[in-house]
Every structure is written in C-alpha cells, then in structure tokens.
A and B are shown apart, each in its own frame.
Chain A
Amino acid sequence: MTQYETVIGIEVHVELKTNTKIFCNCTTEFGGEPNHHTCPVCLGLPGTLPVLNKKVVEYAVRAGLALNCQVAEFSKFDRKNYYYPDLPKNYQVSQFDLPIARQGYVEVEVEGQIKRIGIHHMHMEEDAGKLVHQGNIMTTPYSLVDYNRGGMPLIEIVSEPDMRSPEEARAYVEKLRAIIQYTGVSDCRMEEGSLRCDVNISVRPVGQQELGTKAEIKNLNSFRALQRAAAYEVERQISVLETGGRVIQETRTWDEAKGITVSMRSKEEAHDYRYFPDPDLVPVVLDNQWIEFIKDSLPELPDQRRSRYVEQYGLPEYDATILTLTKEMSDYFEEIIGHYDKPKVISNWMMGEMSRLLNVSGTDITACKIKPLQLAELVKLIDQGTISGKIAKTVFEEMFESGKDPAVIVKEKGLVQISDEGAIASVVDEMIAANPKSVEDFKAGKDKAIGFLVGQVMKATKGKANPDVVNKLLREKLQ
C-alpha cells in the first residue's frame, strides 16, 4: 500500500487591538449596534480618502519581529478586487508584493521534537463586514450586512507548507497565538474571531517532490476543530486517491457537528483578484531607528518566559511549557508567585485541579472565579498546617464554584485540620482495636499495612486529621 505524506500550510488572520480602524477614526469596539461604527471611509463612499493608522504599522512590526521576520523598509498597499456584499468598495485594501514583513519562523514542539516552521510573509489589511443570514447561506432568502467590522485592522500571517501532521498544524497555531498575545497587539480569541485560520492541506506519496493538489479548510474556530478537520481532510484525500480519484482544488468548510469537511462549491473566476497599487495610500518607509525602537520595546516572549521558569523557578520543562502556552495562564501564575513564592506547588495546582475544573466547565482562566491571591492563600493554609492537602482539594472546588476566600470556606465548613495529638489519639486507638489483622501484618514486618490504618483514621475524621500526626501516633502505639 502507498504511504502518504501530509503537507500543511496555514494562513492566520489576527485582529489588531488598536482603538480605531485601519484607515478611519471609527472605533474598533466590539458589539455595537449594526452599522453604528461606520463612516464614509469604511463604507467606501466615493470621494473619501483613507489615512493609515500609525499604531497598525507599529503593531504589525512588533508582531513581525516577534515572529523572527525581516521587516520591510519599503512596503505598500494594494487593492484586492472581488465582489461580495461584505466589501462595500468591491475591493479589499491589502498588501500584495511588498508586505510589511517576510521570512520568519516559529519553533514548535511535537512529541518532544523541536521543529522550525517557516513564515513566508506577513501583511496588513482591512477586515470585511459581517453578513447575517437566516438559517444558513443556502436557505436564507436574503442577507443582512453590518459594516462595523469592515475596516478593522488585520495582519495575515502566511506560513510555508512546512507542517507534516494535524498535530504540527495545531502546535503551530497555538505557538503563533501565544507569541502574538505576548506582544500585546491582539487578544487572539479564536471563539470571538480575533484569530482566524485557513488551513491548506494536500497529500502526496512519500518520496514525491511535487506537491499534491490542495484543499483549503475554513471555519475553524478552536484548536480542537483545527486538528480534527485536518485529520479528517487527510483521510478524505487519501481515500479519494486510493479509489482512483483526483483531489480537486477547492475551498471546504468544517462541519463541527458532523465532524466532516464539506465542499463550498467555489467559482472558477473567484481567484482573479487583479491586484494593483492603491493610489489613495502612499508607501510606508520604515527607518532602522523606528524598527530598533520597536524591537527594544518587545516584551518577554513565550520561549524566553519558558526558559526563565526553568532557570528562575526550577520548574520542569513540561510545566514551563504548559504554563506559558497562553499569556493569561502565565500572567495568572506569576501573580500567585508574587503573593507566595512556591512555584512548583502552585504549578501543580494550576496544571492539576485548575486545568481539570476549567476543562469540565468548558471555560478558560480569564473567566475563573478564583483570584490569584486566593490560590496563594489556599497553598499557605496547607503549608501552615491549617488544612490537609486532601481537604484543600474540596476547598479548591468550592472556591472554583463560588469565588469565596479559602479561609472563609474552611471556617464555614469546619474543615480546620486536627493536629492536636490528644484528639487524634483516641481515634487511633479505636482503629487499632477495630483492625487486628492490619495490626498483625504491620507487626509481622509489612510496613504497607500502616497505610491502611492511616486511611481508616482519616476516614473517621472526615479527612481533617493531620496525616503526619496520625502516622507518628500509629507508629508509636504499634512499637
């Protein structure tokens, strides 16, 4: 049977977090009434003149530098011509042959291997408006257009076809997202559309130089969707080839509910964009001083932060990688460390209970009710011996639910750990009397038997006994 190789390239659109649109003074604020954030420029009315937002250039350069790109000293805007109602001018202002940045890369880690994924180029462009349909686009009787999003500033990052598996594709976008988030130029929220990706996939027999025919997958609004869609598409293309068929170059959309990609019936002439330089916009010429200034203002990026976690906090590589994957998670972690300097213990809480509960509730750290200071206090309560580690998990769950302070929960529920030897001793005596078999085993040299007895005491005290004290008392009494 023929072995196939997967080839993936990805285009990522990122919405920049400026106050105003790319070519006019309209606000970029999310969620206004339809068409209330518009003006003659972003509505494409005749006789208007677009003027470039300086912040957009600064942000684009910042992102380009963070992605190890060469920033262009000379760059210009072009018109990309096509007819679609989300585009009031019938062209989109974009950059064609002289983009703001080129030839970058990011490093991703998949199955313990570090791999460099090339970035072909990055350019600036304006976003299109939003179409609203009744039901879906096939069944709707007409469409409604909201141009609030039209003219919002975007950067598009085009990778080289360097990825060889759906896992690599996901790792690439995750890394890209983290880097751009750290630079502060975008929130990169996939669910809200401030980060969108189109994935180009083809397969070819192993050893073949020439690329296979590719399909482009759209409508991927989570990392999971991206990985699943890519995996599905690879299988689909291989089965087309295996049954003697031919892969068609087309755009496909991901159907999350059915778990399949579906052809979007593309039009032949759709790709004839007739780019030409936009005469309304003048070239952007960046001097080295400005580029250097932006370079110097770059904040710590994920890879640097990961290394620092290993060196400064003594965390394992694995912890450092997971904690720095998103800026929110990493900032949250650092805030706790600021309150209580116990990196490894706090990392365990974040990667264990916190991740588990966030997963179960389907939210992320930004929506978490537990404040960094509260988690620091919880760990302090354990270290001071006020509560046991086991009880702490119960307290944590309650904090996650209600957002209450750990000390309040401990007090309300009477969860304070019992460390008083006198109070524990009587329970220990009871358990020794009730479990003669384990006592015998222990005395016969089976050290493990004591674990069972400790467990019985803990159970009898509803987890409140200090396990160290229990252990100590048992050993003394069974001498």
Chain B
Amino acid sequence: MISKQDVDHVALLARLELTEEEKELYTQQLNKILNAAKALQEVDTDNIPPTAHVLPIQNVFREDRVGKSIDPEKALAIAPEREESFFKVPKIV
C-alpha cells in the first residue's frame, strides 16, 4: 500500500509541487497501478536472472574519436539565465 506520505516523499524527490487534491488522487492511482503489477508477481521467477534490458542487444560501442561539439550559443540559448558562457542557476546548498 502506498500512503499519502509516500506520495509526498516521491513528489519531493521529483521536485513536484502537488495540491492536497492531487496527492489524494495520486495515492489512489498509484495503488491501482501497484495492484495491477501484483498480477505479475504471481509468476514464478525463481532461477530467472533479473532483466537488464528489454531488447536482446548487447555491446553497442563507439570508437574513441573526437567529434564536433555544438555551438555553445545554441545550448545557452535554451537556458533561462546565463552569464558569459556559463549557465546561471540558483545556489543549492
């Protein structure tokens, strides 16, 4: 069971600001999702290694060759604030 405190905690971790109504709603909805997932837990998974990736692909590599970086002006253009070629952010302690 997910409690309202759990929703509070997860919202804080995800930096989401929720109203009381939203918290109630999400508590119910998340519990429904978890109940649905319970059906999967009926399956016997003993001796089956946890899935690391859903696709049967492995070892996709790049060679270590330098390519072009982007024009920093383009990157800085999408930032709310900048100073010279730095991104400017509120201080976080």
Chain A residues with a Cβ under 8 A of chain B: 18-20, 24-27, 33-40, 43, 51-57, 74, 76, 81, 83-85, 98, 132-133, 137-138, 140-147, 265, 269, 272, 274, 277, 279, 281-285
Contact = CB atoms under 8 A, between A and B. Distances in A.
Contacts of A274: 13
7 contacts: A55-B64, A57-B61, A81-B13, A145-B88, A277-B53, A279-B54, A283-B53
A141 B91 CA distance: 7
A25 B86 contact: no
B52 A76 contact: yes
Interface in B11-63: 12-13, 15, 51-55, 57-63
A289 to B, nearest CB: 13
Contact of B91 (A34, A56, A81, A140): A140
A140 B56 CA distance: 49
B53 A38 contact: no
Contacts of B58: 282-285
B66 A27 contact: yes
A364 to B, nearest CB: 28
B64, B66, B93, most chain A CB atoms within 10 A: B64
Given A279-B54, A282-B55, A36 B85 contact: yes
A18 B55 CA distance: 29
B69 A137 contact: no
Contacts of B84: 34
Q: Which 5 A-B pairs have the closest CB atoms?
A: A25-B67, A144-B86, A55-B64, A54-B61, A145-B87
Interface residues of B, number: 37
A84 B62 CA distance: 28
Interface of B: 9, 12-13, 15, 51-55, 57-70, 72, 75-76, 83-93
Contact of A51 (B61, B83, B85, B86): B61
A145 B89 contact: yes
B52 A27 contact: no
Contacts of B64: 18-20, 53-56
A155 to B, nearest CB: 15
A51 B69 contact: no
A19 B59 CA distance: 20
A285 B57 CA distance: 10
B80 to A, nearest CB: 12
Given A35-B76, A35-B85, A269 B9 contact: yes
A24 to B, nearest CB: 8
Contacts of A57: 61
A444 B75 CA distance: 91
Contacts of A146: 86
A318 to B, nearest CB: 40
A299 B72 CA distance: 40
B69 A37 contact: yes
A282 B56 CA distance: 9
A76 B53 contact: yes
B51 to A, nearest CB: 8
Contacts of A37: 69
Contacts of B85: 33-36
